[in-house]
Amino acid sequence: MAKLPKRTRPERSKGAVGEPAPPPYVHAPAIARVFQSGNSQAVRLPKQFRLRSKQVQVFRRGSDIVLRERQAKLSELLAGLPPLADDAFPDEIPDS
């Protein structure tokens, strides 16, 4: 009886021109509860979406509502720096 050739997997495409791109890996969406807080509508975010900042930017992108952590302003960053020592900058710079 003749020996059959060894089976091999077909070679994977390396994204040749004209081939569709593979679908991106997408996590299953989490479900959040919407509730009333005073006169505002609020969303209770699941634990994996906890935010570090106290404020977020809210905007629409098509039919989606996007929350993005607010970036600190330069003035806020500078206010958080410790003050410079009185002798940090000399009054006169010597000639070299």
Whether residue 8 is predicted with pLDDT greater than 80 in this model: the reply is: no
The structure tokens listed for 12 are 């994977």
Six token digits for residue 85: 């020592």
Degrees to nearest 5, angle at CA 83 with 77 and 84: 120
In a domain, 93, yes or no: no
For residues 30 and 16, is the Cβ–Cβ distance under 8 A?
Answer: no
pTM for the model stands at 0.45
The answer to whether the beta carbons of residues 57 and 40 sit under 8 Å apart is no
| More confidently predicted of 96 and 59 | 59
Instruction: Find residue 33's DSSP bridge partners.
Output: 44
Number of domains forming the structure of the chain: 1
Task: Give per-residue pLDDT as tens, 19-70.
Answer: 676 666 666 788 999 999 999 999 999 998 898 888 899 999 999 999 998 8
Give domain status of residue 62, yes or no: yes
Residue range of the domain that includes 69: 53-78
Over residues 63-92, the pLDDT tens digits come to 999 999 887 788 877 888 888 888 888 777
Q: Is residue 18 part of a domain?
A: no
Query: Is the residue at 9 inside a domain?
Result: no
Smallest CA-to-CA distance from 32 within 18, 40, 43 is with 43
